[in-house]
Chains A and B, each alone.
Chain A
Amino acid sequence: MHPLLKNPRGLATYLLAWVLAGCALAVAWVQAPAEWIWVLGFLLPIALLTGMSALSMYSICRSFPLRPAKWMSTLSRRAAAAALLALLVSGATALWNATGALWGRDGLVTLTPVAWLAFVGIQTVVFALSALMHDALLAQQAIQVATATEAQASLLAREMEIKVLRQQIDPHFLFNSLNSISSLIQFDPAAARAMTIDLAQFFRQTLGLGERERIRLGEELELVQHYLAIEQRRLGDKLRLSIDVEAACRMAYLPPLVLQPLVENAIKHGVRQLDLGGLIELSARHPGNRLALCVSNPVDALATRDATGVGQGLRHLRSRLQTQYGELAFVDVESTADRFTVQISLPWQT
């Protein structure tokens, strides 16, 4: 059914427009005051009939949607339908005009053959226009549906992302940290308490920040600090840190959990594997209109690299940044024999 038929106000407005069009035509037509009643009596029902008939193009347009590959057949169908409809309405018009006999006239109005021809022509044009407008309407509806689907898809993607973020909380990390706390309780209760608090803060912030679209770098750094505090207790003096963040960068916005997974990789695949540990360097700069982050860690030059974990994490990060920034985000990885560096560049947002 035509959408207008489900909407009484819309339908009334539409028909009123046709009545007004009929009146306008009557103004152009009537030459003597005595003709008014006959011309209006003839034109208004025909205008309404044309209006209602024009709506039927909707089903034609819907049944044979415009497709670039088949434009010949779809256009010819529309033309044929418009011409047929014009003929039918003209037939009805002739019949209606003939009712003038009831009042003893030849017709309600007098129509010359030229006028008839013009009439059929106008009707055809009206129906063709109607087809055009319905096509436009359908296209707009399709766009609306597509947008709604897209919105839903992005919502779903976001939910997925939060799920993934939650899974990123490594159970190995959690249980080993609890084991460290269990050990510290005996030797250094104050450190055990501090570690418990770091662990709690880390998890709280991971869950809290993960649900937001953008956070300040300062917030992410706070999370990373808790994470590093825990790792430093677990690894002892194997883990050394150099954190260098330009003050302005702390206020810059970025998606949550961009730095933390990088630092986690730097420890898991870098410092942890080295007998003597090593230095993790973390920096944030503000060059031009961008936010530049860098995490760098030493790697075991002799070990065969098991890079599957690193690769997956980086791929995930890349695709996250790409969905959010498109071509405006860069992730550069530099891997030398003894050092692994990841650089991220994002548009500056405050």
Chain B
Amino acid sequence: MTIRALIADDEPLARALVRAFLATHTDVQVLAEVDNGLDAARCIQDLVPDLVFLDIHMPKLTGLEVLQLTGLRRGVIFTTAYDQHALAAFDLHAVDYLLKPFSQERFDAAMHRASQLLREGAPAVERLMAAQALKRVLVREGSELRVLPLDEVEYIEAQADYVAFRHAGRDHLKAQRISELEAQLDPRQFVRVHRSFIVNLRQLQAVERTESNGHAVRLRSGKRIPVSRSGHERLLGVL
């Protein structure tokens, strides 16, 4: 079985080194090399590689964000020179990674572990991702992928099997369940105020009473969003 691999690193020499270390791994076929996080996310979605060499520190999207946004959970080998926060998270969740500069032996060991996990799934990466709060989301705009900074998203609305991110007066759809998304967001900033709505507290203007003795939130844009009883409790809990 050939392993189809993607190399994501913004430095040409670093990518060349991974290719060189792969020379002895004849079962690996390199599908593509990319030099930024957004292209990495695109390639992961379009080419569906078995194995990704993923640098943490890349332009546009970090390696961790690439995983968050693509939902990729297996077949990842992180490479990094020095990212204290990421390394602490890796150690916490027992995720394997390659510290630059690394040796052929260390590289081979990581390959060995990764190819085993390819078949079994990687609970460590799953745990790591569960612990990261989402900061940006990847949405499709026509055939193009676009990155939305969540800070600038006003609210999120469930629409059947999709969620719609309201950003700069426009809705951006993404195929995801709202409860699944809610779990990935920072609970201090994003509150599920209603079965169908999550609001960004940074955009909050006021909490109002409705005529029927319920609640609603008014956002800076003037938009009013209904608040359920349990949603109101969650809101009070955070505020």
Q: Give the complex CA separation of A303 and B81 in angstroms.
A: 24
Complex contact B59–A272 (CB within 8 A): yes
CB distance from B237 to the nearest CB of A (A): 29
Contact A176–B14 (Cβ < 8 Å): yes
Closest residue on chain A to residue B99 by CB atoms: A175
Additional A-B contact list (9), CB under 8 Å, known A174-B81, A175-B100: A172-B82, A176-B81, A179-B11, A180-B13, A183-B17, A186-B17, A272-B59, A273-B59, A304-B149
Residues of A near B13 (CB, < 8 A) are 179-180, 183-184, 233-234
A275 at the interface (CB under 8 A from B): yes
Please give me the residue from chain A that is nearest to B19 by CB atom: A183
Give the distance in Å from the alpha carbon of A184 to the alpha carbon of B57 in the complex.
Answer: 21
In the complex, whether A187 has a CB less than 8 A from a CB of chain B is yes
A183 touches B14 (CB 8 A): yes
Q: For residue A287, give the distance in angstroms from its CB to the closest CB of chain B.
A: 36
Question: Contact string, B9-27, partner A, CB cutoff 8 A, digits 1/0?
Answer: 0111110110010000000
Residue in B20, B101, B152 whose beta carbon sits within 8 Å of that of A178 in the complex: B101
**Chain B residue contacts of A175, Cβ below 8 A:** 81-82, 99-101
For A178, give the chain B residue with the smallest CB separation.
Answer: B101
Least CB distance from A169 to B in Å reads 12
Q: In the complex the two chains form, is B60's CB within 8 Å of A178's CB?
A: no
- Are B11 and A235 in touch, CB under 8 angstroms? yes
Q: Is B36 an interface residue (CB 8 A)?
A: yes
Nearest chain B residue, comparing its CB with the CB of A234: B11
Known contacts: A180-B13, A234-B11. The answer to whether A172 contacts B101 by CB under 8 A is no
User: In the complex, what residues of B have CB within 8 A of residue A303's CB?
Assistant: 60
Which residues does chain A contribute within 8 Å of B17, judged by CB atoms? 179, 182-183, 186
Q: Which of B11, B17, B102 has the most CB of A within 10 A?
A: B11
Bound together, the chains give a CA A179 to CA B18 distance in angstroms of 11
Contacts of B57 in A (CB 8 A): 172
